[in-house]
Chain A
Amino acid sequence: MRISTQTLFGASTATLQRQQAEFLRIGQQLASGQRVLKPSDDPLASSRALEVSQSKAVAEQYAAARVGARNALSQQEQVLNSIGHAITSAKTLAVQAASDTLTPADRASIAAELRGILETVLGQANAADGNGRYLFGGFQDDSPPFVRDGAGAVSYVGDANARNLRIDDARLMAVGDNGITLFQMVQAGAGYVATAAPGNAGNLTFTGPLVLDNSAPDHGSAFTLEFSVAGDSISYSVNGAPAQIWQAGEPVVFGGLSLKLDGVPAAGDSLVVAPSGGVNTDLFATLKNLVDALERPDQTATDKARLRNTLNTSMRELDNALDNILTVRASVGAKLNELDTVDEVAGNRILNYEETLSQLVDFDLVKGISDYSLRQMGLEASQKAFVDITRMSLFNFL
């Protein structure tokens, strides 16, 4: 076949250009470390890469959420820890105060210590994070959730919500507990609490109640014991049922419970024995009752009985409150553990994503460098060929 001079040059330059383009491409791949420089180089890999990098980014987003969750939970854990200590101290003080040998001055000093504890707990309940957001107000995190009125009563102004964070694909974690859960609730398993009516005129005191039979009829409901006195005979009625005679010193038994009673009630005195969820569950009210009772002078037998009864009630309530705080603390601890586990799993997942991403779009350097030298040689060879071919001309010999 005839070869025209134009074809000769054209074919050689086309080859040169092709070689150069390939050489440049490998050079770019080497320089960027990327095999896929633009989507058309490998459309499927590049769209896969987009999806994988989004999955990776989402995983990292969850990791950031976990950092936030861990901060919030650790902070909460510390606060709960110190509240737990405070309740334990209050319980110790209440036990001390129950001693009959204490002078009014001793009791006043215990009352002062308890007041200090009340302040500590209130301060912790109104704890805020670094941004000034209150920890235990539910969604109302912009003002202190516990406020005190003029009479010293503490009330909760937050709400009953808890903030959730998405810490993993399918895991929404509550990262805060509100004031209700922490300070105004008892665990479902908490037992009965007995409370003497504040207006009791006799010197009746109680110990207990003890649970005798938790399958007895009416067990689980609240009971009101009302006393009536006819001469020497003292009788009581449970929840308005027909009155029964009470033998002094004998425990009274009802609804599977046994309540030991001492002293002598006045007519019309009453006791309430109720599951702890149904009576006062507010830690602040408990502490305040305790302080108030200790600060009150105990001149008469009635006063002494009232103090003793309040101490008994409060100790039960403090036990329940401590249980509650410890339970919440345990759940916070469990969440922190869960965060560690999820972190580990997600860390592996992120590594996998990175590896996939790298397989999809990254350049194999070993292969790349050998290709690079190969292309370089190819280009040099075709340059040499171009020079040789174009130098050949019959005109050189004319």
Chain B
Amino acid sequence: MKIFSIGVSGLSSAQAALLATSNNISNVYTPGYHREIPVLEQQRVGGVGVGAIQRQFNQFVAAQLNSATSNLSGLDAYHAQVAQIDNLLGSSNTGLAPLLQSFFSSLQDVVASPADPAARMGVIGTANALTAQFRAVDGYLHSMQHSINGQIGNEITGINDTLAQIARLNNEITLAVANRGEAPNALLNQRDAMVNKLAESMDVRVSYLDGVNYSIAMADGKPLVVGGRHFEIEAVMAADDPTRVTVGYDGPAGTPVELGETVFAGGRLGGLMAFRRETLDSVQNGIGLLAASLAHAFNGQHGGGTDLYGNAGGDLFALGAPRLFANDNNSGGAQFSAIFDGTAALSGADYDIRVSDAASGTFVVTRRDTGASFDIALNGANQLAFDGLVLTLDDPAQLVDGDSYLLQPTRNVTRDFANLIRDPGLIAAGQSASSGDNRNALALLDLQNSKVVGGRASLNQAYAGLVSDVGIRTNIAELNLQAQRGFTEQIRVVQQSESGVNLDEEAANLIRYQQYYQANAKIIEVASTLFDTILGVSR
């Protein structure tokens, strides 16, 4: 009775189809789930069989989605950070502009009544408020640096975890394929979800050469997962800047190397590093440049005046020193110490200093912001002097060709930016000790409109420049983010159109397969009736 077996094959196929449909329905909102379709095949002996439960997965769309995800989460991370400093500088509560203005207004009071202790106290008060706000802004930026260091560390931990899981899934899938000839869809879904998660953290290249294993590599080709093995990356302190966490790679060779930041273009890791490199550093430098310019201009002018005790004016503002690091990989032990010369214009940029000829004490200095470089040799006092900075070398004998140093002139100065004067009598308002002499106060007030920042801009212009710079960066990040979000959304729609579950469709399938089941059951009923008829004839 072939008709029986055909009916039974139909029933079990209908069951399998109903199973697939209900699986689709129940997983409609499961992330990483791909729609499954039963592939019905006609049997050679008659009847039907389920060839496979096919996972609707498109490798190319998935790769596109991964790369879009990578870019999106990179821009998202960048934007989340830059939005924090956007309002920090521009808002009327935390911005420096109103405090700068009230400092100058209080100087105006001293110009009007130079001996008035209240006016003098006003200058001390506004100078305290101004420097405190500078330090607060700088403190905030410093804590962002810290937090980025921490976030990079966390990302790296997460990445290593994901890499290990992908390697494990590679193994399990290989095993499953070996045992059953086909991979379990759940494991494949899991692995693809892991790759997508990895793409959120960093941009990777996925290759699927043997049809079973995913091989994962970094943008520059360094392998991360090969078959069942994975190679970890680790958080290391940058060789040129010990305050900065960056990424090291262990690799198959086992010797860790520090990776250049440009390897990480996308993903949260790339976004964080790009934000730090492009925006945070330059804003911190810019704030430091403002503080240093303010301090140098005021200290210089104040020293030219006379306080109420008849002494030359002391420094009004304290300022931190330029920061200089010798590279960890230097083979020589020579060390620099750096100071401001206090008069020449500062640039606010960071500099790389490389020993080009140790014997003659020649260096190549490269500005990090413009990339411009110039040669400079030690002078008789073992000093290098450029751009308002004086660097003193401790021991020229220890210089080695190729050794390098990183100079951050204004990165770290704001932390110690403070008002030094507590006694109102110490304000040098005059150029003589006469109580009514306001000439120096007038000169100090005139600094308001002088081009004291790098010889190019007044304090307020420089500050406005900084605010618009950050504003533009935030604005661009926002626009890029929106564009990327739209693009990613489109790809996701394409991916979903292939792999996503549609409940209406599944509802239709449910009815279809239910009828299919009922029809096959009918076949068995008919077969049974036929069988009974035969039995009746023979009776």
Size bracket, chain B contacts = 35 or more
For the complex, give the distance between the alpha carbons of A165 and B112 in Å: 7
Q: Verify A39–B29 contact, CB threshold 8 A.
A: no
- Neighbour of A5 across the interface among B90, B105, B503, B510, CB < 8 A: B503
Question: Which chain A residues (49-97) contact chain B, with CB distance < 8 Å?
Answer: 50-51, 53-54, 57-58, 61, 64-65, 68
- Among B87, B430, B467, B503, the residue within 8 A (CB) of A139 is B430
A40 at the interface (CB under 8 A from B): yes
A142/B465 contact (C-beta < 8 A), A5-B502, A46-B471, A65-B108 known = no
Asked if residues B500 and A6 are in contact (CB atoms below 8 Å), the reply is yes
The yes or no answer to B362 lying at the interface (CB within 8 A) is no
Complex CA–CA separation, A155 to B474 (angstroms): 69
CB distance from A382 to the nearest CB of B (A): 16
Q: Which of A4, A50, A68, A142 contacts B460 (CB 8 A)?
A: A50
| B115 in contact with A133 (CB, 8 Å) | yes
Number of A-B contacts (CB under 8 A): 173
Query: Would you call B104 an interface residue if the criterion is a C-beta within 8 Å of the partner chain's C-beta atoms?
Result: yes
Whole-angstrom CA separation of A163 from B110 in the bound complex: 12
B503, A140: Cβ atoms closer than 8 Å? no
Chain A residues with Cβ below 8 Å from B492 are 7, 10
Known contacts being A40-B474, A43-B471, A163-B438, is A50 close to B83, with CB within 8 Å?
no
**A46 with B468, Cβ < 8 A, contacts A39-B90, A61-B105, A165-B112 known:** yes
User: A44 on the interface (CB 8 Å rule)?
Assistant: yes
Q: Would you call B437 and A161 a contact (CB within 8 A)?
A: yes
What residues of A have a CB within 8 angstroms of the CB of B115 in the complex? 133, 141-142
Chain A interface residue count, CB cutoff 8 Å, equals 50
Please measure, in the bound complex, the distance between the C-alpha atom of A172 and the C-alpha atom of B439, giving whole angstroms: 11
Whether the Cβ atoms of A43 and B434 lie closer than 8 Å is no
- Contact between chains at A4 and B83 (CB < 8 Å): no
| Interface residues as binary, A355-398 with B (CB distance below 8 Å gives 1, 0 otherwise) | 00000000000000000000000000000000000000111001
- Which residue from A40, A138, A163 sits with its C-beta under 8 Å from B83? A40
Residues 485-515 (chain B) with a chain A CB within 8 angstroms: 489, 492-493, 496-505, 507-508, 510-511
Taking CB atoms, residues of chain A closer than 8 Å to B508 are 394
* A137 proximal to B (CB < 8 A): yes
A153 at the interface (CB under 8 A from B): no
Which of B1-9, B218-226, B441-449 faces chain A? B441-449
**B436 an interface residue at 8 Å Cβ cutoff?**
yes
Which residues of A have CB within 8 Å of B467?
39, 43, 46-47, 50
Query: A166 with B442: in contact, given A5-B28, A6-B29 (CB under 8 Å)?
Result: yes
Q: Is A105 an interface residue (CB 8 A)?
A: no
In the complex formed, the residue of A with least CB distance to B100 is: A54
Does B360 reach chain A (CB closer than 8 Å)? Answer: no
* Distance in angstroms between the alpha carbons of A65 and B101 in the assembled complex: 15
Residues of A close to B437: CB separation below 8 A: 139, 161, 163
List the B side residues contacting A10 at CB < 8 Å. Answer: 492
CB distance from B513 to the nearest CB of A (A): 13
Smallest CB gap from B29: residue in A: A6
**With A2-B502, A40-B475, A46-B471 known to touch, is A58 a contact of B449 (CB < 8 Å)?**
yes
Contact B435 A141 (CB under 8 A): yes
Q: Is B470 an interface position by the 8 A CB rule?
A: yes
B121 at the interface (CB under 8 A from A): no
The one of B83, B435, B445, B510 that contacts A142, using a Cβ cutoff of 8 Å: B435
B497 and A7 contacting across the interface, CB-CB below 8 Å: yes
Q: How distant is the Cα of A109 from the Cα of B434 in the complex, in angstroms? A: 42
The yes or no answer to B461 lying at the interface (CB within 8 A) is: yes
* A334 at interface by CB-CB < 8 Å: no
| B112 with A4: CB separation less than 8 A | no
Given contacts A54-B460, A131-B113, contact A137 B500 (CB under 8 A): no
Cβ B86 vs Cβ A38 within 8 A: yes
Q: A141–B511 Cα gap in the complex (Å)?
A: 103
Q: Are B111 and A166 in contact (CB under 8 A)?
A: yes
Convert B439-483 into 0s and 1s, putting 1 for each residue whose CB lies closer than 8 angstroms to a CB of A: 100100110110000000000110111011111111100100000
Q: Are the CB atoms of A139 and B502 closer together than 8 Å?
A: no
Contact A39-B497, Cβ < 8 Å, known A2-B502, A50-B460? no
CA distance A48 to B90 in the complex (A): 12
Check if A43 sits within 8 Å of B101, measured CB to CB: no
Least distance between A383 CB and chain B CB atoms (Å): 20
User: Could you tell me the distance in whole angstroms from the C-beta of B51 to the nearest C-beta in chain A?
Assistant: 22
Q: What is the CB-to-nearest-CB distance from B81 to chain A, in angstroms, rounded to a whole number?
A: 13
- A398 to B, closest residue via Cβ: B507
Q: Is the beta-carbon distance between A38 and B496 smaller than 8 angstroms?
A: no
Sample (16) of A-B pairs whose CB atoms are under 8 Å apart = A3-B497, A4-B502, A7-B497, A40-B86, A40-B478, A43-B474, A43-B475, A44-B468, A47-B467, A51-B464, A61-B105, A61-B108, A139-B436, A141-B435, A161-B434, A398-B511
Closest 10 CB pairs of A and B: A4-B500, A43-B471, A39-B471, A47-B468, A139-B434, A141-B436, A40-B474, A39-B90, A394-B507, A139-B437
Which residues of B approach A to under 8 Å, CB–CB? 28-29, 35, 83, 86-87, 89-91, 95, 97, 101, 104-105, 108, 111-116, 430, 432, 434-439, 442, 445-446, 448-449, 460-461, 463-465, 467-475, 478, 489, 492-493, 496-505, 507-508, 510-511
